[in-house]
């Protein structure tokens, strides 16, 4: 059945200009949310169907709801900045809520955001472990993209960092610097980030015909564990000339122990961390080579996928953004 | 002239219930932004005047624009969380933008927020130095409260922390712990936070009949300067049993130097920091006694003042929130 409703028909019915109708239907130009809604509702009531494309005749508020699970903001703020850059450039605004990792609070926030007519939801996690998807009766069909913490439903769209590749790159970098006996100091075993970084590291060691210089030491993510783990490694009699620490705080603690025992970093032992967190990686006596999670890029990419989804091009699966190696003094010269 | 327009008149004209009119006029209950606007506009057109109170008949969107100047989020995120707590509880939502400390970008963000009909603006700074107010032709009469970085117009409403009181409390705490020769390691001299903390410290020393154990060492805010400044202090031959460091990174650096020189903290030298920043204050070998800026409380208070202002009760001047002393090992036992 041919589409007989024209922009003129809608303009007359909504008592606006044809240009305004065009702007509202194509989601371009400067229109108030109210006018846009009136035009889209009128078009819908008249049974108007766009001849091309798949733009749903949902009224658009230009608002994106961002639900952050991260209280401290260490991981979420850079992703938020990246998302806001992208959304702002496409004339969207960010409604921010903080769920403090509480699923009930997350549901309540999403309810409120839906009531405000957000066009899409960006769900930002505080770690890379996957999470249950937002329930359909909470999301009400609003497009969603998950950032940093991916959804465990493969049908959802998520953006996170590539921890496996970072683990491999850490080992390869230490080998490039001349290390031949590499030990690993890790955080808690149950994190997906831990598992992936270790998997990547082990694969890289195997590929170079190496084995770890000592069994991987698992503990927490704190500097004090880095200090202790390095002491345990030294006391075990294991010989090593490189340590891959799974975050910068562990690296900082390990370096403190190495220096206190009279060893030189990187001449005797080279050390790599992860997170590229300015204060920890750069403020200590030997600045730490580290991996940047490119959180701003994760935020930007997630925002772009969300905008695409709002325009009707839904994406599926987990997109992984590479971590960048930032070389500092802790690996700057070859050991021995 | 008596007010002859009743809630019934407005309800009839706007085609809603009397209860809805009441909710809209009193800014209570669950109403869509659209309904609230329709009721308020109808009331305005009819010339309705509330018999009591000073509620302006502006339509309310339930949106608050938050403009943050702080890229890293270290200071802004806790204040944001505090503000969101308060605003969420009063049925407002936070539209977040990041100005990256760029005045032009700040103006552009405020323009966009105004175009979205925000009821008020919360302007969040990254430091306690005062800043120029938002220009009237940018703000368009929207109520504004400044948090952390106060406006330098005394007619504006600002909430920040009480650095002078913190400086005095730091000295008094060291004296309480038995210190009688206190040195000060500071960040850059030109920050207002520096000036106020030093002013407070000097006043407290005078009050106890003391003078600083050495001239105040000014530098930057980094750990490396804390290490260097402590070395310079020791090498100068000055005798001291307490150091007031103006932030935690300086304190951490100073403690590293003291330990490396064979001194005990706090037995030989007690050390106080400022900011209570978890990683720096708690992760090091001697956890640092520090002052918490109560940023969440600053955010909550600023949000409450803003809501008050939106309801017509405008506030003026700079409100100062006290910093809380958090005692840790670096001052836990009396020196000698």
Average pLDDT, chain A: 88
Over range A246-273, report the average pLDDT: 97
Q: Which DSSP category does A256 fall into?
A: H
Distance CA B97, CA B90 (A): 21
The torsion angles phi and psi of A291, rounded to 5 degrees, stand at: -115, 130
Residues of B in contact with A34 (CB under 8 A): 34
A57 pLDDT band, cuts 50/70/90, is: very low
Q: Do residues A174 and A106 touch, judged by C-beta distance below 8 A?
A: no
Mean pLDDT of the B50-74 span = 66
Put simply, the answer to whether A224 touches B283 (Cβ < 8 Å) is yes
Q: Which of A145-159, B64-78, B136-150, B313-327 has the lowest mean pLDDT?
A: B64-78
CA distance A244 to B53: 65
Residues in chain A, overall count: 336
Domain ranges of chain B: 1-60, 63-161+295-323, 163-292+325-331
Q: Which fold has domain B63-161+295-323?
A: Rossmann fold (3.40.50)
Query: Which residue among B98, B115, B283 places its CB closest to the CB of A84?
Result: B98
Contacts of B7 (CB under 8 A, 6+ apart): B18, B21, B22, B25
CA–CA dist A6, A43 (Å, integer): 9
Q: What is the pLDDT of residues A278-290, one digit of tens each?
A: 888 998 889 999 9
ipTM of the complex: 0.70
pLDDT for B88: 81
How confident is the model over B39-58, as a mean pLDDT?
Answer: 60
Nearest CB neighbour to B81, from listed A71, A80, A224: A71
Tell me if A283 and B34 make a contact (CB, 8 A cut-off). no
Strand segments, DSSP code E, in B129-187 are: 144-147, 157-161, 182-186
In the prediction, which pLDDT does A28 show?
64
| Residue B9, pLDDT above cutoff 90 | no
CB contact B279 to A (< 8 Å): yes
Q: What is the mean pLDDT of residues A150-178?
A: 97
- Chain A residue numbers touching B328 (CB-CB < 8 A): none
pLDDT band at B54 (very low <50, low <70, confident <90, very high): very low
Give the pLDDT confidence score for residue B81 in this predicted structure.
Answer: 84
C-alpha–C-alpha distance, residues B265 and B254, integer Å: 10
Q: What pLDDT was estimated at residue A139?
A: 79
Task: Determine the pLDDT at residue A27.
Answer: 65
pLDDT interval class at B99 (50, 70, 90) = confident
Strand-strand pairing, B290-292 and B324-326: antiparallel
A201: closest CA among A238, A250, A245? Answer: A245
Which pLDDT band, with edges at 50, 70 and 90, does A44 fall under? confident
Q: How confident is the model at residue A147 (pLDDT cuts 50, 70, 90)?
A: very high
Q: Quick count: other Cβ atoms within 10 Å of Cβ B198?
A: 21
CB of B205 within 8 Å of a chain A CB? The answer is no
CATH architecture of B1-60: Orthogonal Bundle (1.10)
**pLDDT tens figures, B208-242:** 999 999 999 999 999 999 999 999 999 999 999 99
- Average of pLDDT values for B77-93? 85
Top-tier CATH class for A63-161+295-322: alpha beta
Chain A neighbors of B222, CB-CB under 8 A: 283
Nearest residue of A to residue B248, measured between CA atoms:
A279
More confident site: A255 or B127: A255
For the stretch B295-336, pLDDT in tens is 999 999 999 999 999 999 999 999 999 999 999 999 997 545
Are A72 and B77 an interchain contact pair (Cβ–Cβ within 8 Å)?
Answer: yes
Which chain A residues touch B112 with a CB distance below 8 Å?
Answer: 88, 93
Q: List C-alpha distances in Å: B216 to A7, B181, B200.
A: 73, 13, 13
Q: Which residues of A touch B113 (CB under 8 A)?
A: 93
How far is it, in rounded angstroms, from Cα B128 to Cα B124? Answer: 10
The B residues from 225 to 254 touching A (CB cutoff 8 Å) are 227, 249
The pLDDT, as a whole number, for residue B313 is 92
Using CA atoms, how far residue B293 sits from A322, B43, B242, B298, in Å, is 36, 44, 22, 8
Reply yes or no: is the peptide bond before residue B311 cis, omega within 30 of 0: no
Q: What does chain B come to in residues?
A: 336
Interatomic CA distance for residues B272 and B249, integer angstroms: 11
Q: What is the pLDDT of residue A322?
A: 97
At the top level of CATH, the class of A163-292+325-331 is alpha beta
For B241-250, B272-281, B297-306, which range has the lowest pLDDT when averaged over its residues? B272-281
What's the pLDDT score for residue A63? Answer: 92
Q: For B9-13, B57-61, B134-138, B206-210, which range has the lowest pLDDT when averaged over its residues?
A: B57-61
Q: Which of B80, B93, B280 sits opposite A95 (nearest CB)?
A: B93
Question: Is the Cβ–Cβ distance between A64 and A92 less than 8 Å?
Answer: yes
DSSP string covering B173-236, please?
HHHHTT--SEEEEES-TTSHHHHHHHHHHHHHHHHTT---SS--EE--SSHHHHHHHHHHHHHT
Percent of chain A topping pLDDT 90: 61
B280 CB neighbours in chain A (<8 A) are 279
pLDDT at B141: 85
Contact B97 A95 (CB under 8 A): no
**Cβ contact (<8 Å) for A222 and B77?**
no
Please check the confidence at residue B52 and state whether its pLDDT lies above 50: no
Q: Which residues make Cβ contacts (< 8 Å) with residue A163, sequence separation at least 6?
A: A128, A192, A193, A196, A197, A200, A323
Under the banding of pLDDT at 50, 70 and 90, the label for residue B293 is very high
Q: Kindly report each contact of residues B277-280 with a partner whose C-beta sits within 8 Å and lies 24 or more positions away, as own/partner.
A: B277/B74, B277/B248, B277/B249, B278/A72, B279/A249, B279/A279, B279/A280, B280/A279, B280/B223, B280/B248, B280/B249, B280/B251, B280/B252
- Judged by a CB distance cut-off of 8 A, whether residue B141 touches chain A is no
A80 near B CB under 8 A:
yes
Residue B32 in this model has a pLDDT that exceeds 50: yes
**Residue B71 confidence class, pLDDT cut points 50, 70, 90:** low
Q: What is the pLDDT of residue A19?
A: 77
Q: Find chain B residues with C-beta within 8 A of A97's C-beta.
A: 84, 88, 93-94
Chain B residues whose CB is inside 8 A of the A284 CB are: 223
Task: Tell me the C-alpha distance between B302 and B298, whole Å.
Answer: 6
- pLDDT confidence tier of residue B289, bands split at 50, 70 and 90: very high
Closest Cβ–Cβ partner in B95, B223, B280 for A93 = B95
Asked if the domains at B63-161+295-323 and B163-292+325-331 fall in one CATH topology, the answer is yes
The Cα B204–Cα B165 span in angstroms is 9
Residues contacting B204, CB < 8 A, separation 6+? B167, B168, B169, B170, B171, B172, B175
Contact A249 B279 (CB under 8 A): yes
Contact across the interface for B93 and A93, Cβ inside 8 Å: no
**Does residue B28 surpass a pLDDT of 80?**
no
The pLDDT value recorded for residue B159 is 97
The token pair at A261 is 């025992």
Q: Are strands B144-147 and B157-161 parallel, antiparallel or unpaired?
A: parallel
Please answer whether residues B214 and B236 qualify as being in contact, where contact means their C-beta atoms are separated by less than 8 angstroms: yes
């Amino acid at each position: 059945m041919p589409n007989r409703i024209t922009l003129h028909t809608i303009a007359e019915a909504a008592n606006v200009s044809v240009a305004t109708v065009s702007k509202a239907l194509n989601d371009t130009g400067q229109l108030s949310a109210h006018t846009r809604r009136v035009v889209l509702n009128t078009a819908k009531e008249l049974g108007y169907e766009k001849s091309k494309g798949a733009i749903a005749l949902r009224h658009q508020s230009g608002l994106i709801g961002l639900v952050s699970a991260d209280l401290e903001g260490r991981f979420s703020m850079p992703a938020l900045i990246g998302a806001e850059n992208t959304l702002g450039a496409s004339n969207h605004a960010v409604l921010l809520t903080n769920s403090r990792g509480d699923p009930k609070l997350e549901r309540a926030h999403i309810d409120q955001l839906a009531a405000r007519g957000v066009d899409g939801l960006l769900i930002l996690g505080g770690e890379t472990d996957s999470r249950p998807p937002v329930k359909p009766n909470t999301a009400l069909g609003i497009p969603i993209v998950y950032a940093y913490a991916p959804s465990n439903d493969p049908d959802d769209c998520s953006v996170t960092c590539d921890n496996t590749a970072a683990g491999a790159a850490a080992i390869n970098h230490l080998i490039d610097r001349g290390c031949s006996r590499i030990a690993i100091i890790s955080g808690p075993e149950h994190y997906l980030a831990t598992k992936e970084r270790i998997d990547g590291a082990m694969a890289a060691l195997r590929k170079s015909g190496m084995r770890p210089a000592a069994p991987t030491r698992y503990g927490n993510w704190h500097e004090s564990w880095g200090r202790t783990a390095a002491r345990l490694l030294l006391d075990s009699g294991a010989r090593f000339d490189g340590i891959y620490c799974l975050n910068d705080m562990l690296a900082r603690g390990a370096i403190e122990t190495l220096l206190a025992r009279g060893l030189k970093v990187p001449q005797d032992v080279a050390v790599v961390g992860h997170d590229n967190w300015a204060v920890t990686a750069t403020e200590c006596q030997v600045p730490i080579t580290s991996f940047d999670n490119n959180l701003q890029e994760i935020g930007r990419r997630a925002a772009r996928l969300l905008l695409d989804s709002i325009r009707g091009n839904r994406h599926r699966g987990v997109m992984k953004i590479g971590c960048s190696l930032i070389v500092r003094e802790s690996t700057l010269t070859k050991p021995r």
